[in-house]
Copies of this chain bind each other. A is one copy, B any other.
């Protein structure tokens, strides 16, 4: 048994933790509730306590641990500074330093959760074997992470990989949560796909499998119907695929990764979704057929603890 490392994925409801071999094998995973009382001031000490407890149970001295990484839901500056994490109540914090202090100086690094998940997928998931990937997470929102030479592009203001807020749609009129208009998230998130379906249904009388759900239609309904050849659902997915294809082509012409890894709830639609995106992506990359491929994420909700553990292993 070699050295160990610890990955921590801090979410608004639970904190996921993982104990890993430095080679990438997950030895144990567990979770604790996120205590958001008093601006989340107990979160770090709860994590430290839980780590100590598990290490003791597993009979692993702290000296056997190479370090810990932590993904948090908000922008993290290159020096580890977190100005604000709305979901946790945090303000003006250096979470990595605090966790390190609480664990006798164990080396700790902190990153944005979406970026960290991308690193996890590169290490042991859909992008395993690659050094340069872009992950696009299609969930309630759209998240992303850019990994070049096995390192996260954090950006100089913590905005690296904020792919969900790329402006792709000039004719959009509604506002995104970020304050912008026409963001990728507004059309390619689960919420966005459902909204697009509602718009299409309202604009015509074409029969569709999606009409069963009516205004309660979900992204899954749309994708299931599209897979069955439902004409209206296919139209919705053409719109979604167009904007995702444009966004991926833009990323390919900027950082040119080996692979795009598609994750998040929407990616459960599997190969069908990859094919739709790929068709549009190819259209906006006539400049070269020698370009990054598109595939699916593999780690699901564990991407965060994998990537966090990998943060320390440079």
Chain A residues with a Cβ under 8 A of chain B: 75, 132, 146, 148, 153-163, 165-167, 170, 178-180, 246, 249-258, 284-288, 290-292
Q: Given B153, B156, B254, B258, which contacts A166 in the complex, CB threshold below 8 Å?
A: B254
CA distance A170 to B170 in the complex (A): 8
Q: Given B155, B254, B288, which contacts A157 in the complex, CB threshold below 8 Å?
A: B288
- CB-defined contacts of A75 to chain B, threshold 8 Å: 288
- CB-defined contacts of A132 to chain B, threshold 8 Å: 155-156
A-B contacts, 8 listed (Cβ < 8 Å): A157-B290, A157-B291, A157-B292, A159-B287, A162-B256, A165-B287, A167-B250, A178-B286
Q: Given B148, B170, B179, B256, which contacts A158 in the complex, CB threshold below 8 Å?
A: B256
Q: Given B180, B254, B291, B292, which contacts A251 in the complex, CB threshold below 8 Å?
A: B254
13 further interface pairs, Cβ-Cβ under 8 Å (given A132-B156, A250-B250): A75-B288, A148-B153, A156-B256, A157-B256, A158-B256, A160-B256, A161-B253, A163-B253, A166-B253, A167-B250, A179-B286, A180-B285, A180-B286
- CB-defined contacts of A166 to chain B, threshold 8 Å: 249-250, 253-254
- CB-defined contacts of A286 to chain B, threshold 8 Å: 178-180
